[in-house]
């Protein structure tokens, strides 16, 4: 299918969709580093610009619009969580583009905080807005560990299907492939990587010198080698803190490569930018593996 991608970031979701055989016909992000990373690894059809200045008629027609609209305002990790946060309105650009392009499907990813924001009124408003635009909307709360990602990552996936689609064209949401007993551990995922700082086989296998102190709150808890990784986050606790997930050796922060592997980016995927930017691009991403599973479900419809 032809896909338009908004808020594309480094392209975790888009690479997964591409791996499932789809074409990214147009993509956009405001962050120059993320766009450079995207071009180096996913495709060149990406424009670096603020979504607010993009005219819809410059975006090609497509079958699917995807996008993880920014979630800082929605994130439970943000102490200033507030329905009036201006960043929440970025989703309205997503809504406008879906309304104008009228694709068969849209897929939006967000943090689970979106469900409880303003006592659930925000998500109800989002559902109502897309209904008005002509879409049946499904909300799926997922833990990426249940899909074979070596990480606890609870996210909300909003699926929109145009309300004139025949039942045979309905997108079936991917079923979980793993349970608590078969979750992939962080040690299984990154245990074979070279030592931190050794980039001879794995680019970006470097990490900031951020001193790990286990303080038992988000991103500062000890990491259990036999469990999936804690959520790889883009930022800290809303006070601007660093989200330095400790390696399970307890001595240091995960390297950029280790974080990327936990987000199921391929080992040869190169991140461009300063260290903080690379960590942020990775923390922002939809795991590539999950993107591929969604893409496979879209491909199944094509074959019918």
Strand partners, 11: none
* Closest to ligand SAM by CB, 130 or 290: 290
Determine if 105 is a binding residue for ligand SAM (CB under 6 A).
no
CA-closest candidate to residue 157, choices 68, 50, 73, 64? 68
Among residues 1, 3, 9, 26, the one that binds ligand SAM under rule CB under 6 A: 9
Give the β-pairing of 154-162 and 105-111. Answer: antiparallel
Number of residues that bind ligand SAM (CB under 6 A): 22
Determine if 13 is a binding residue for ligand SAM (CB under 6 A).
yes
- Of residues 131 through 170, those in contact with ligand SAM by CB under 6 A are none
* Closest to ligand SAM by CB, 97 or 212: 97
- Of residues 43 through 72, those in contact with ligand SAM by CB under 6 A are 50-52, 68, 70-71
DSSP state of 277: H
Q: Could you say which of 43, 48, 62, 71 is catalytic?
A: 71
- Of residues 213 through 252, those in contact with ligand SAM by CB under 6 A are none
* Closest to ligand SAM by CB, 52 or 79: 52
Tell me how far, at minimum, the Cβ of 279 lies from ligand SAM, in Å: 13
The residues, any chain, with a CB within 8 Å of residue 135's CB and separated by 6 or more, are: 98, 106, 160, 161, 162, 163
Determine if 90 is a binding residue for ligand SAM (CB under 6 A).
yes
Tell me how far, at minimum, the Cβ of 166 lies from ligand SAM, in Å: 29
CA-closest candidate to residue 67, choices 14, 114, 7? 7
SS3 call for 203: coil
C-alpha radius of gyration, the chain, whole number: 19
* Closest to ligand SAM by CB, 194 or 266: 266
Tell me how far, at minimum, the Cβ of 8 lies from ligand SAM, in Å: 6
* Closest to ligand SAM by CB, 97 or 196: 97
Among residues 2, 19, 23, 30, the one that binds ligand SAM under rule CB under 6 A: 30
In whole angstroms, give the CA distance from residue 17 to residue 107.
Answer: 11
Binding mask 260-289 for ligand SAM (x = CB under 6 A): ------------------------xxx---
Across the beta sheet with 2-6, the strand order is: 46-48, 23-29, 2-6, 64-67, 105-111, 154-162, 135-143
CA distances from 26 to 38, 47, 107 (A): 12, 8, 15
Determine if 32 is a binding residue for ligand SAM (CB under 6 A).
no
Q: Is the dihedral of CA 83, 78, 50, 40 positive or negative?
A: negative
**Is position 43 annotated as part of the catalytic site?**
no
In whole angstroms, give the CA distance from residue 175 to residue 181.
Answer: 16
For the annotated catalytic residues, the residue numbers are 71
Binding site for ligand SAM (CB under 6 A): 7-13, 28-31, 34, 50-52, 68, 70-71, 90, 284-286
């Amino acid at each position: 299918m032809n896909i338009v991608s908004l808020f594309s970031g480094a392209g975790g979701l888009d690479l997964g969709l591409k791996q499932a055989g789809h074409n990214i016909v147009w993509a956009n992000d405001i962050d120059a580093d993320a766009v450079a990373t995207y071009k180096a690894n996913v495709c060149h059809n990406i424009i670096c610009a603020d979504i607010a200045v993009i005219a819809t008629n410059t975006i090609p027609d497509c079958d699917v619009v995807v996008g993880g609209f920014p979630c800082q305002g929605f994130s439970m990790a943000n102490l200033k969580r507030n329905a009036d946060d201006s960043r929440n309105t970025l989703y309205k650009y997503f809504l406008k583009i879906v309304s104008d392009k009228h694709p068969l499907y849209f897929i939006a990813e967000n943090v689970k905080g979106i469900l409880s924001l303003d006592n659930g009124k925000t998500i109800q408003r989002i559902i109502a807005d897309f209904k008005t635009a002509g879409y049946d909307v499904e909300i799926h709360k997922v833990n990426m560990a249940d899909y074979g990602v070596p990480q606890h990552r609870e996210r909300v996936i909003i699926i929109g299907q145009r309300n004139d689609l025949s039942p045979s064209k309905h997108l079936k949401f991917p079923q979980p492939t793993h349970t608590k007993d078969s979750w992939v551990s962080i040690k299984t995922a990154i245990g074979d990587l070279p030592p931190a700082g050794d980039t001879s086989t794995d680019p970006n296998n470097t990490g900031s010198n951020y001193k790990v102190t286990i303080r038992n709150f988000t991103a500062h808890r000890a990491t259990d080698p036999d469990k999936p990784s804690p959520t790889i986050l883009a930022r800290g606790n809303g006070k601007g803190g660093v989200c330095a997930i400790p390696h399970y050796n307890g001595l240091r922060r995960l390297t950029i490569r280790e974080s990327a592997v936990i987000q199921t980016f391929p080992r040869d995927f190169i991140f461009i930018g300063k260290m903080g930017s690379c960590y942020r691009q990775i923390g922002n991403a939809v795991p590539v593996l999950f993107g591929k599973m969604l893409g496979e479900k879209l491909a199944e419809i094509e074959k019918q």
